[in-house]
Chains A and B, each alone.
Chain A
Amino acid sequence: MSEHEHHPHEPHSEHPQRTLSPIELRVRALETLLTEKGYIDPAALDVLIDAYQTKIGPRNGARVVARAWCDAEFRRWLLADATAAIASLGMSGRQGEHMVAVENTPQVHNLVVCTLCSCYPWAVLGLPPTWYKSAPYRARAVKDPRGVLREFGVELPESTQIRIWDSTAEVRYLVLPQRPAGSEGLSEQQLADLVSRDSMIGTGLPGAAE
């Protein structure tokens, strides 16, 4: 039965009867157990889910990048002490405790990976996309970065140096992409709109200025 289908003999309710899948049963059992044993406040789970679905995501990182593009002093601060510079914009904490920003230039392109698990800068990019946690990306990013970039539609000049950052400890990396050509007249907000999630991981480039 689909999630939205109501049981034919049940009156309409906010909790329609439906068969839970085996994995849904496991999750429910685990949550019930941990609640009964006093480890979990189920209301906290709702708040966490809301935070990572609606408040903490790549638009946060885009604000950091746009600020760095507009403000040379902030850019220097970001590259010298990313944790503090990012915190000054109100982003800090979980999976962003030890931030490092790495800057793309005409000579150097940065690419971030976690070959051992799924380490990702949640504080500025939110939860990682599935591909970032997947075997093909983790296996190939360190060994065939140009092939990986090509899959993402990014072709770099042969002379460009590629810097790969494997997040093997609690340091989290944010790529500062190059500001798009022709974007001089744009506001900070318009610039932030050009900054894609992938451009801050290094698997993409920012959008072009219109």
Chain B
Amino acid sequence: MSYHSNADLGGQDVRDAIVMEPEGEFFHAPWEPRVMALVVAMGPTGLSNIDLNRATRETLPNYRDLTYYEIWLAALEKLVLERGVLSDAPPPPKQVLRAELVAAAISKGSSFSRTPTGPARFALGARVRTIAATPSHHTRLPAYARGKAGVVERVHGAHVFPDTNAQGLGESPQWLYTVAFDEKELWGGQILKQQSTISVDAFEPYLEPA
């Protein structure tokens, strides 16, 4: 089955100006805070998860035409339909975020660290190459960093694996690494020399020894 993300923008030719915004200006329409809060409050219900949310957003056909809170709204509407909230037997919420629990829920957050199921395949400083394949599902390896050689510069432990979690296939924890790439490896002669190094956080299944 083909899967296309409309959100994988790194390195694309987008020429619009970046529109500056003063600090403290968090919303631009009166409905936007409500959408932000709805999305956050739906977290504990277990109706979706962060990776399924992202998969739902990035596959919206009109993703590029929408503002960010419009994307959040459209994806939540879609999930509500797809997860059977309107059916005769809607999935019961795991937990409902009550007003008095909000402050504690914010400061606790939800850790994505998990107990690793095996030893890390790569050590700090290891030379690795990212996989080149375009997967047929949600993934977190950006297209610009596929099939590229880099160096492991941080090892973060095992985290929830978005590729399976987004598909409802479980958390399947995987080792997570920060991998650094030289600009020449990513862009070749396409860019003027910027003196830049770019890193991505990459899960172990995205990497092979270089």
Cα–Cα, bound, A3→B29 (Å): 11
A12 touches B (CB below 8 Å): no
Interface contact B45-A96, CB-CB below 8 Å: no
B141 engages A168 (CB within 8 Å): yes
Cβ contacts under 8 Å, A52 to chain B: 26, 33, 36
CB neighbors of A among B112-161 (8 A): 112-113, 140-142, 144-145, 154, 156, 159-160
Are the C-beta atoms of A30 and B73 separated by less than 8 Å?
Answer: yes
| B1-43, CB < 8 A from A | 5, 7-21, 23-31, 33-38, 40-42
Q: Are B20 and A152 in contact (CB under 8 A)?
A: yes
Instruction: Mark each residue of chain A from 62 to 100: 1 if its CB lies under 8 Å from any CB of chain B, else 0.
Output: 000000000000000000000000000000111111101
Determine if B209 is an interface residue (Cβ-Cβ < 8 Å): no
Q: Is the CB of A115 within 8 A of B10?
A: yes
Please tell me if the beta carbons of A169 and B76 are within 8 angstroms of each other in the complex.
no
0/1 string, A45-59, CB within 8 A of B gives 1: 111110111001110
B154 touching A39, Cβ below 8 Å: no
A65 to B: closest C-beta gap in Å: 14
Q: Pick out which of these stretches binds chain B: A143-151, A175-183, A184-192.
A: A143-151
Chain B residues with CB under 8 Å of A23's CB are: 29, 31, 70, 73
A146 to B195, CA, bound (A): 9
A16 contacts the other chain (CB 8 A): no
B198 at the interface (CB under 8 A from A): yes
B194, closest chain A residue (CB): A146
B interface residue count range (under 10 / 10 to 19 / 20 to 34 / 35 or more)? 35 or more
* A40-B42 contact, Cβ under 8 Å, with A49-B36, A161-B197, A163-B197: yes
Quote the shortest CB–CB distance from B180 to chain A (angstroms). 8
B36/A196 in contact, CB under 8 A: no
Chain B CB within 8 A of A19 CB: no
A49 close to B37 (CB less than 8 A): yes
Q: Tell me whether B8 and A197 are in contact (CB under 8 A).
A: no
A sample of 19 cross-chain residue pairs with beta-carbon separation below 8 angstroms, ordered by A number, consists of A39-B42, A41-B97, A44-B98, A48-B40, A49-B36, A51-B103, A52-B36, A58-B24, A93-B106, A131-B18, A131-B19, A137-B18, A138-B9, A139-B10, A144-B191, A167-B201, A168-B140, A168-B142, A171-B156
Knowing that A52-B36, A136-B17 touch, tell me 16 more A-B residue pairs with CB under 8 angstroms. A26-B77, A30-B80, A39-B42, A40-B41, A41-B41, A43-B98, A48-B40, A94-B108, A97-B112, A113-B10, A117-B54, A130-B67, A163-B197, A166-B145, A168-B142, A168-B201
* Contact surface of B with A, Cβ cutoff 8 Å: 5, 7-21, 23-31, 33-38, 40-42, 45, 47, 50, 54, 57-58, 64, 67-68, 70, 73, 76-77, 80, 85-86, 90, 92-93, 96-99, 101-103, 105-113, 140-142, 144-145, 154, 156, 159-160, 162, 176, 178, 186-187, 190-191, 194-203
